Structure 1
């Protein structure tokens, strides 16, 4: 080993390299070189990746200002120099140099050959489940051919005990059974499906801790623990045991109002009538709408319920791609905390994406994480282009999470996006779109997507153009709309009236006629629209209303609670769940909410000042919220 090989050279690094940074720094120093954490006047070489060069980070941009002094090279420059015991000519390792590009292409081909071993050994995985579940065991099927004793009466008895998974499987494998079970003109069929649905829901609720129920209805990354859970962290074991014997508000509400989630024939007919009315209104505003676009049968609602339960249980088989430093330690999750998803494959972004594509038939979901070291400068172009280029091979992907980046890596308010219209158009079978961040997040007017069932936009502020185009989009089968509306300080530049004149109209416009979950979360002006929410037509045909994570206080609750109390068994017959947790509601008003015959979560914010004297603290415009803050504003 030559201890003077890199004497006089100063290296800087950017991006994810084949070895951890600390290891590479040690190697450079052992060979006489120096390392700088940023581009300085002394820096001679920047070691980086093709992705960093294509979408220049701060270090790359700085180096490009003086290309005569700083050589931007790939890491092979290091390894070849060490193996040959001499500093090799830099030309073929330079980014932007034709010779270097040819060499990169050759390396890509060699890497692709090396990846063949992954094809042999790779096994897909699912996220760590939030709920304890048993492992499914696939048993061989027994065919009852020529079994005369298995008559129609006996078959009917057997079918009465079908679970949801078996019902869905039968629909896929037997067209005659599917036709039979889809015929809702037969009341006996409807009754059977209602029983299947209720049995499934009851067994599901019974299988989980009541306090975890609300984690399974929405994105729970920014939910807060129950106030009792927070206190437990500072209790002795004896105090914890004593505390566990006390009733908890969320648990009480679920136990008291679980029957509200039970479907009856009357309730189903009410929902169906409202749905049909909404579809007719929706078709008047979307001239190209076709009746065949809509899936509003009882069977479809059961299938969708199971689909979204799998999604929120983290039960999809996923592929995860992210740029990460190999030398970064990952902490073990504490009890009750969900484990962060790790990359499915090793290597740089291009290598990971190539391997995912090789195994694409094994995945249901793709999670796109960090795309460069300094994400606050550029949108993830490499991900957007990869999806559009390979769309034909991605048609069986059910869910996409764009920019699933932990806040420790980058604030949500710094995450960039681009126009997602082309991505959605290229994936007509996509069911779930979830993204984090909203800088430059765009959607073109008049977009149409028949298969999209769920949209989740986690942000610190959604723009007026984005919301306007979203609310005029043709999304006939959208069941789940979850918007982190945010604050005007972070891009939420829309006035509250925009929501009132589009999504929250009193008259039935038919907007999103299949909607069952309405989530207007993390909104600084939630008090200004709270009454409009419950006066709207859309709120009277959904089963879940979620206005959590905001700064709702008593004034906002007073504007709608009488509407709910008076119409809970008429206008709001379909409403099952109300989530107003992590807000600033007083104990007295929370107690009143818990009297409603629906499942309510009103766990207050951990910094709740609701019981002090600031309940009415605001200026004439209602924009000064004192010490009240939304959950996610950075």
Structure 2
């Protein structure tokens, strides 16, 4: 799942994202996509659509065969900077006996004009996992008041949580879940300024991989502790079975990269994503020389990773996504 601060999701669950129209737009023209041919994005509480999210969903349910719907993208809901998606979750669970084909769900597809990522209020998402046992993809953007209870889910294949600061209790809950089918786990750990207070020990069960036997793509990124993450992964059992390791968007310096290079072999990877980093040219070249001849696709572009300097000369480094 690709996140752009300037645009909404374009694709989700292998389907194009199609906006469900407002009530006024629906009166003029009905969407032409078949219910199962799109990831339907439902938005409410904006200047374009002032109804509640359950009202928008009720129109959607009345117009399409919910039994055919495979993917839903929840966009904005009213006052997301103050209120979580409780009414959204209640509406979805209330329709679960009809949403028999739902396999992909994204909660909080908002851009900055609607609500900054670190202002998006969430809530307890555990009922979505227990209520939809056949769900294969769950994406969440925002982490204020986000809650998750450790669960076992037999079908989930992809879990993505995008945040400017992921609370430690959520990280620990993810680590305590049993996801035997999960192939992709992508956590944006963020910074303490926005609630990202996890420590390296909170990630230990994920790095052990015991509860994630099918994991092939691991993202632990957008983190101020990226050097510690990289150092721990140098000896982490889960790495040996990965195809993709993503440590991008964070404060990765030479210390973390050198530790990663000095640990277990990485030449089995298909891709190592380190874009947005604070590496020197010499260490970046060492990575290329060690991995690219083995066919590893290496992402090293710095993008907007820039240092600020205090009056005493100390450097300030930033994650890619904060506020």
TM > 0.5: yes
Unaligned runs of 5+ in 2: 18-36
* Equivalent residue, structure 1, for 2:182: 478
The answer to whether residue 156 in structure 2 is matched with residue 452 in structure 1 is yes
The answer to whether residue 207 in structure 2 is matched with residue 504 in structure 1 is yes
Q: 2:13 aligns with which of 311, 315, 335?
A: 311
The answer to whether residue 144 in structure 2 is matched with residue 439 in structure 1 is yes
* Equivalent residue, structure 1, for 2:217: 517
| Distance apart, 1:449 and its partner CA | 0.7
Q: 1:321 aligns with which of 10, 21, 42?
A: 42
| Distance apart, 1:613 and its partner CA | 10
| Distance apart, 1:313 and its partner CA | 7.1
**Contact 2:118-2:163 at 8 Å conserved across structures:** yes
CA distance in 1, matches of 2:229, 2:305: 23
| Distance apart, 1:431 and its partner CA | 0.5
**Partner SS state of residue 286, structure 2:** helix
CA distance in 2, matches of 1:606, 1:414: 22
CA distance in 1, matches of 2:13, 2:167: 27
* Equivalent residue, structure 2, for 1:219: 2
* Equivalent residue, structure 1, for 2:270: 576
**Contact 2:15-2:38 at 8 Å conserved across structures:** no
**Partner SS state of residue 392, structure 1:** coil
**Partner SS state of residue 535, structure 1:** coil
* Equivalent residue, structure 1, for 2:198: 494
> What is the number of equivalent residue pairs in this alignment?
291
CA distance in 1, matches of 2:95, 2:13: 24
The answer to whether residue 114 in structure 2 is matched with residue 425 in structure 1 is no
CA distance in 1, matches of 2:39, 2:115: 22
* Equivalent residue, structure 2, for 1:599: 297
CA distance in 1, matches of 2:5, 2:257: 22
**Partner SS state of residue 122, structure 2:** coil
Aligned residues: CA RMSD: 2.5
CA distance in 1, matches of 2:113, 2:260: 37
Could you report, residue by residue, the CA deviation over 1:222-246 in whole angstroms, capped at 9, with x for unpaired residues? 69xxxxxxxxxxxxxxxxxxxxxxx
| Distance apart, 1:594 and its partner CA | 2.0
| Distance apart, 1:377 and its partner CA | 1.1
Could you report, residue by residue, the CA deviation over 1:316-350 in whole angstroms, capped at 9, with x for unpaired residues? 61211112223xxxxxxxxxxxxxxxx9xx96534
CA distance in 2, matches of 1:378, 1:427: 23
**Partner SS state of residue 502, structure 1:** helix
Q: 1:629 aligns with which of 314, 318, 322?
A: 318
TM-score (norm 2): 0.83
TM-score (norm 1): 0.43
**Contact 2:67-2:100 at 8 Å conserved across structures:** no
CA distance in 2, matches of 1:310, 1:457: 14
Q: 1:448 to 1:477 in 2, by over 3 A?
A: same
* Equivalent residue, structure 2, for 1:398: 103
CA distance in 1, matches of 2:285, 2:309: 19
**Partner SS state of residue 260, structure 2:** helix
Q: 2:69 aligns with which of 329, 347, 363?
A: 363
| Distance apart, 1:421 and its partner CA | 1.0
CA distance in 1, matches of 2:304, 2:166: 25
CA distance in 2, matches of 1:347, 1:443: 28
Unaligned runs of 5+ in 1: 1-217, 224-308, 327-342, 619-625
CA distance in 1, matches of 2:170, 2:192: 14
**Contact 2:12-2:104 at 8 Å conserved across structures:** no
CA distance in 1, matches of 2:39, 2:228: 39
CA distance in 2, matches of 1:607, 1:518: 22
* Structure number with larger C-alpha Rg: 1
CA distance in 2, matches of 1:413, 1:352: 25
Could you report, residue by residue, the CA deviation over 1:517-563 in whole angstroms, capped at 9, with x for unpaired residues? 00001011111221211210001111000000001011211111133
* Equivalent residue, structure 2, for 1:62: none
CA distance in 2, matches of 1:476, 1:383: 27
**Contact 2:305-2:318 at 8 Å conserved across structures:** no
Q: 2:114 aligns with which of 383, 402, 409?
A: 409
| Distance apart, 1:460 and its partner CA | 1.2
CA distance in 1, matches of 2:173, 2:12: 29
**Contact 2:12-2:71 at 8 Å conserved across structures:** no
The answer to whether residue 84 in structure 2 is matched with residue 379 in structure 1 is yes
* Equivalent residue, structure 2, for 1:546: 246
* Equivalent residue, structure 2, for 1:208: none
CA distance in 2, matches of 1:400, 1:310: 9
**Partner SS state of residue 67, structure 2:** helix
CA distance in 2, matches of 1:498, 1:317: 37
CA distance in 1, matches of 2:197, 2:142: 15
CA distance in 1, matches of 2:202, 2:157: 23
CA distance in 2, matches of 1:629, 1:313: 33
